[in-house]
Amino acid sequence: MSIRDALCRPFKMLIVSLAVLATLIAVHQQPEAYAASHAQIVLLGTGSPPADPDRSGPATAIVVNDTPYLVDFGAGVVRRAKAAVLDRGIKALEPTNLRVVFVTHLHSYYTDGYPDLIFIPWVLGRRVPLEVYGPRGIKAMTEHLMEAYSADIEARTNNPYATQRDFPDGHKVNAHEINAGVVYKDENVTVTAFPTKHAMESYGYRFDTPDRSIVISGDTNPTQATIDACHGCDVLIHEVQTLESLAKRPDFQAFATHYHTTTRQLAELATKAKPRLLIIYHASIALRPAVNPQASSPEELLNEVAAHFSGHVVIGRDLDVY
């Protein structure tokens, strides 16, 4: 070995070590987020009814070949989509691209971003109608929102100076009331609805894309239909209530027993459904305890699930990408 090589070797080792360290840090910050994959899951909102500034209302985007598909539209959905463009580099989620949406159920905090989704992308330049798929009642909700915002619609479509006048279809909605089974199919996805068990008519959805199968629960009691819909799927996105938070809310326990899923039940369900990745959303947690004293910490939630589920599980946070 030459003197030059002997001097260079420690230097090279240092460079290699730094490169490995940088890779480890990158992987730790965004596990799987930017994996080469056609289908990306972007968690736009992972919250629940409490007005949590860290977690918007439930909304999930599945992006396939630069085409976005949404599930649910809780409060903040359009701004979170724009945040995904700016902060995560997912250009497909430009608000004007939001055109195809599936709704799990019509509870207010899953749907109170609906006028946001109908009207703001139109104002920003969407030229085609929104296609919305959901349970019975979605047509009436859509008609009532059109009526509620008729002054805005008239002002924009009849005013010679309003730019929306040139694309009058951009605020329109084709609302499709669905039954269980395949509800949508195009070159990117096949979407299958399955019945869930909640306080009203409700559905979960399975997305089959060229490279991934993704199942999302919405609000539900544990059901065999969810297990069957996943059945070894790539990703299961499921709601949950911690036992700890339920213990603090005796007034909510009867409702939760009938219409939601505990950590213990989710662990049992996931053990049977065998997803390669379980993403928990709509959980009874708060990232800051002051937001909701009855909520659990993310650590407590993970402890409760991991105690009975040995698979890969993560707690979804707003703007996480999987």
Binding site for Zn ion (CB under 5 A): 107, 219
Using DSSP, state whether 239 is helix, strand or coil: strand
Are residues 92 and 321 in contact, defined by beta-carbon separation less than 8 angstroms?
Answer: no
Within 8 A by CB and 6+ apart from 309, the residues are: 266, 267, 270, 271, 278
Name the residue type at position 130: L
Q: How many CB atoms lie within 10 A of CB 206?
A: 22
- Cβ closest to Zn ion, residue 57 vs residue 95: 57
Minimum distance, C-beta of residue 203 to Zn ion, in the bound complex (Å): 12
Are residues 218 and 72 in contact, defined by beta-carbon separation less than 8 angstroms?
Answer: yes
Minimum distance, C-beta of residue 69 to Zn ion, in the bound complex (Å): 21
Minimum distance, C-beta of residue 161 to Zn ion, in the bound complex (Å): 42
| DSSP string for residues in 158-221 | H-TT-GGGG-TTTT-EEEEE--SEEEEE-SS-EEEEEE-BSSSS-EEEEEE-SS-EEEE--S-B
- Cβ closest to Zn ion, residue 107 vs residue 212: 107
Minimum distance, C-beta of residue 81 to Zn ion, in the bound complex (Å): 22
- Cβ closest to Zn ion, residue 84 vs residue 295: 295
Minimum distance, C-beta of residue 266 to Zn ion, in the bound complex (Å): 16
- Cβ closest to Zn ion, residue 102 vs residue 122: 102
- Cβ closest to Zn ion, residue 239 vs residue 304: 239
Tokens of 52: 């949590």
